[in-house]
């Protein structure tokens, strides 16, 4: 005889777990914005938090999340308790204006010598300023893919770049939430013409409050020799690495900064990609990128 098993009591709903990042809406939003915010939260696999009109954010930080992506009617703002960050093309606007005017003094563009129609992989997209300049340099027939490891910054730049008017002389930027190291390890040789790296500087320069917010959300892992070696395999033409004049990041990777104005605090180094000629003067442009067997330059006493 089969005895009936008493029904288990319905489980009590668990209190919502605290999350490092969540989505909500700005004070007053139409239903279409609420729907968009909910859909984005699902896509990013983070919670959506209901917010009453005009309710302050502080209780949401206390109860639910360390940081919030706040959807408004036509913008997305990243907030934590210390400040906020919006997508903005920033200096890219001015750099592109100068390119449009035929002024070719942009350090990255001068060094890379981007060809029209070429493909570019930006391994450290951030808010996309360098990627926007590259998109203008390769033009509407080119291709620019940007990788961003931080989910908060990926969210800001993917939504921001989608809404950004690039104009008829640029291509659009495809944004992926990926770790550049993993992406490069899996990529086929010669997939992109140019590869860019702009890792976070070890010693931050004085910066604006919004840049401070960006620093709190950015991934600070240093660029490694393995990533550089993979990038040289994946790049047909060149790998470009940004560094600070006042740090030893480039030298530690066996790279030397290309000559630039003495007043410039930012410098770039260039490696030739695999498909390029192997004849290239050392040390600024080694035919082989540094790898585990290449001894890095010895650190200076102050390091």
Q: Is 199 in the site for ligand SAM (CB under 6 A)?
A: yes
Question: Which SS3 state, helix, strand or coil, does residue 213 take?
Answer: helix
Stretch that binds ligand SAM, among 8-16, 55-63, 145-153, 278-286 (CB under 6 A): 145-153
The closest residue (CB) to ligand SAM is 126
Q: Minimum distance from CB of 12 to ligand SAM (Å)?
A: 39
Q: Is 128 in the site for ligand SAM (CB under 6 A)?
A: yes
| Structure-token match 């907030």, residue found | 79
Stretch that binds ligand SAM, among 26-34, 72-80, 214-222, 279-287 (CB under 6 A): 214-222
Stretch that binds ligand SAM, among 45-53, 62-70, 107-115, 216-224 (CB under 6 A): 216-224
**83 in Cβ contact with 210 (< 8 Å):** yes
Question: Which SS3 state, helix, strand or coil, does residue 108 take?
Answer: helix
Question: Cα(49)–Cα(126) distance, rounded to whole angstroms?
Answer: 25
Q: Is 249 in the site for ligand SAM (CB under 6 A)?
A: no
Q: Minimum distance from CB of 129 to ligand SAM (Å)?
A: 3
Q: How many helices (H) and strands (E) does the chain have?
A: 10, 10
Q: Minimum distance from CB of 149 to ligand SAM (Å)?
A: 3
Contacts of 234 (CB under 8 A, 6+ apart): 121, 184, 187, 188, 189, 190, 191, 192, 195, 273
Stretch that binds ligand SAM, among 53-61, 109-117, 125-133, 230-238 (CB under 6 A): 125-133
Q: Is 198 in the site for ligand SAM (CB under 6 A)?
A: yes
Nearest to 65 by CA among 20, 26, 24: 20
Q: Is 187 in the site for ligand SAM (CB under 6 A)?
A: no
Question: Cα(70)–Cα(63) distance, rounded to whole angstroms?
Answer: 16
C-alpha radius of gyration, the chain, whole number: 23
| Complex with ligand SAM: residue 48 or 268, whichever CB lies closer | 268
Q: Contact residues for ligand SAM (CB under 6 A)?
A: 123-124, 126-130, 147-150, 153, 179-181, 198-200, 218-219, 221
């Amino acid at each position: 005889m089969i005895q009936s098993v008493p029904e288990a009591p319905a489980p009590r709903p668990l209190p919502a777990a605290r999350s490092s990042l969540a989505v909500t809406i700005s004070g007053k939003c139409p239903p279409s914005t609420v729907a968009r915010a909910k859909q984005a939260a699902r896509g990013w696999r983070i919670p959506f938090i209901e917010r009453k009109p005009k309710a302050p954010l502080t209780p949401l930080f206390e109860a639910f999340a360390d940081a919030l992506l706040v959807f408004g009617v036509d913008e997305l703002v990243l907030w934590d308790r210390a400040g906020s960050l919006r997508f903005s093309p920033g200096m890219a606007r001015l750099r592109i204006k100068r390119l449009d005017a035929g002024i070719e003094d942009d350090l990255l563009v001068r060094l890379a010598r981007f060809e029209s129609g070429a493909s570019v992989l930006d391994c450290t997209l951030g808010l996309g300023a360098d990627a926007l300049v590259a998109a203008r340099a390769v033009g509407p027939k080119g291709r620019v893919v940007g990788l961003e490891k931080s989910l908060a910054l990926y969210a800001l730049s993917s939504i921001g770049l989608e809404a950004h008017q690039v104009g008829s002389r640029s291509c659009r930027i495809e944004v992926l939430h990926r770790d550049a190291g993993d992406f490069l390890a899996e990529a086929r040789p010669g997939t992109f013409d140019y590869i860019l790296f702009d890792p976070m500087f070890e010693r931050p320069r004085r910066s604006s409050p919004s840049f401070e917010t960006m620093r709190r959300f950015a991934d600070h892992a240093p660029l490694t020799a393995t990533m550089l070696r993979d990038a040289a395999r994946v790049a047909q033409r060149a790998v470009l690495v940004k560094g600070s004049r006042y740090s030893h990041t480039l030298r530690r990777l066996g790279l030397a900064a290309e000559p630039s104005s003495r007043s410039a605090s930012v410098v770039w180094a260039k490696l030739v990609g695999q498909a390029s000629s192997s004849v290239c003067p050392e040390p600024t442009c080694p035919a082989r990128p540094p790898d585990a067997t290449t001894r890095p330059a010895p650190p200076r006493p102050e390091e």
